[in-house]
Amino acid sequence: MEEGLIRNLPDLNEACAALVSGGVAALDTEFVWRATYRPHLAIIQMAGADGVCRALDCQLGTDVAPLAAVMRDETVVKILHDAHQDIDLISHFTDAPPVNIFDTQLAAGFCGHPANLGLQKLLFEVLDVGLAKTETCTDWSQRPLTDAQVRYALDDVRYLVQLREALLAQCASFGTREWLEEDLLKYEDPENYGEMDPDDAWKRVKGSAHKLRPRGLAGLRAVASVRERRAREWNLPRAWLGDDASLVDLAWRVQHGETAFPNVRFRNRLKNKAQRDHIAADYAEALADAASLSDEECPDPIQPDYPREVLDAADKALDYIRARGEELHVDPGVFANRAQVTAFVDDPETPDNPLAEGWRFETVGRTIIERFYVP
């Protein structure tokens, strides 16, 4: 089988059969995201145990059933770097849920490397392989793709099988492989993929949203839900219907006691006047509804107001985690982030806190309760 683009079903069948035969499928994607709600998937790169690298041209309408079967096959390890977005795109494209995922970026954090390393740097550190970055500005939706573009794309999967083996060997030597395998299971949780509930969209708004109080958060929840629903309906990027800063500004108006919103103004990129008028009216109605809610119906603050003693204890707990991580060859960020550590120090029974269960509890969580918990 030759390397290159897959443009028909027989070639895809042959490529996927090789992946299944070898038990591993190194995967990556190239996409374009300009004027649509979701990224436009251009190609899916794949490589197997035989070392042959291929790329499926996603713009040809080829039946993707063979690739969907690979994605569903529990005996085939799907190897990706920084897996979440690629898995989301491939799963949506193939309508196949992810199973048996191996993320080389996550694995790096369990064997002495930073858990946020890009593929290029990780390959150099682990395998002494240098990747050329000559096509970083490529428009992957344009056809035909040049041989240089295809080679560049295939390099992103060419070494993933070998990289996985090297990282697993390092994890085994440090005694962290079981912890890694425990974390890898989280990639199979369907809640990590697909469309979010529009009523939860406010939780992803960035900027100064964390400064809002419950009344303002009710306004933010309302307008973020409108933006999510309309962006999905009109197949437009969320930011085109109002950037995050605009949504927070609108939410502040609710927090400051406004109850009528006849002249909503916000930053948007909509060229269609009817859509601009429509979304403005939607926002005004949503804000008015939020202003009428009772205190009990408003969301809790994103970031609680912790007392100084809890914040000081969290700082000490973070220092402990950093020291413990160095001892165990685990990147400190893999254990938990600052918000999770602070919540744990304040209340070890905080729901869904990673420090409260599994290998994290056994290695650091139990000691944090003994040393740093502020009752």
Domain pair 198-297 / 308-372, same fold: yes
The most distant pair of C-alpha atoms in the chain lies apart, rounded to whole Å, by 67
How far apart CA 350 and CA 354 sit, in angstroms, is 10
Catalytic residue among 57, 135, 156, 331: 156
For residue 2, pLDDT beyond 70: no
pLDDT for res 207? 86
Catalytic residue among 11, 73, 152, 282: 152
pLDDT tens-digit series, residues 308-356 = 999 999 999 999 999 999 999 999 999 999 999 999 999 999 889 999 9
3-class DSSP state of 203: helix
Does residue 128 carry a catalytic annotation?
Answer: no
Domain ranges of the chain: 4-192, 198-297, 308-372
Does residue 156 carry a catalytic annotation?
Answer: yes
For residue 371, pLDDT beyond 70: yes
Question: Is-contact 221 299, C-beta < 8 A?
Answer: yes
Catalytic residue among 11, 57, 73, 86: 86
Confidence at 133, pLDDT banded by 50, 70, 90: confident
pLDDT for res 1? 59
Average pLDDT across the chain, whole number: 94
Mean pLDDT, range 104-108, rounded to an integer: 98
Mean pLDDT, range 8-35, rounded to an integer: 96
More confident residue, 218 or 375: 218
CB atoms within 10 A of CB 72: 15
CATH pick for 308-372 out of 2.20.25, 1.10.150, 1.25.40, 1.10.3470: 1.10.150
Catalytic residue among 28, 103, 155, 331: 28
Q: Is the dihedral of CA 38, 39, 43, 45 positive or negative?
A: negative
How far apart CA 290 and CA 126 sit, in angstroms, is 52
C-alpha distance from residue 225 to each of 48, 69, 219, 290 (Å): 42, 35, 10, 12
Does residue 2 carry a catalytic annotation?
Answer: no
Q: Is the dihedral of CA 119, 106, 36, 44 positive or negative?
A: positive
More confident residue, 201 or 132: 201
Nearest partner of 93 among 60, 66, 73, 64, judged by Cα: 64
User: Among the listed ranges 91-105, 135-149, 361-375, which one has the minimum average pLDDT value?
Assistant: 135-149
What H or E segment, with its residue span, contains residue 363? none
Does residue 258 carry a catalytic annotation?
Answer: no
Mean pLDDT, range 193-203, rounded to an integer: 90
CATH 1.10.3720.10 fits 198-297, yes or no: no
How far apart CA 72 and CA 188 sit, in angstroms, is 11
Residue 150: exposed, middle, or buried by beta-carbon count in 10 A (0-12, 13-18, 19+)? buried
pLDDT tens-digit series, residues 4-19 = 899 999 999 999 999 9
Q: Which value, to the nearest 10 degrees, does the dihedral of the CA atoms of residues 135, 141, 145, 149 take?
A: 20
CB atoms within 10 A of CB 337: 12
Catalytic residue among 30, 135, 183, 346: 30
Does residue 152 carry a catalytic annotation?
Answer: yes
Tracing tokens 């063979």 back to the chain, one arrives at 66
pLDDT tens-digit series, residues 249-296 = 999 999 999 998 988 888 899 999 999 999 999 999 999 999 999 999
Q: 4-192 has which CATH code?
A: 3.30.420.10
pLDDT for res 364? 98
pLDDT tens-digit series, residues 199-257 = 999 999 998 888 899 999 999 999 999 999 999 999 999 999 999 999 999 999 999 99
For residue 135, pLDDT beyond 70: no
Question: Is-contact 313 345, C-beta < 8 A?
Answer: yes
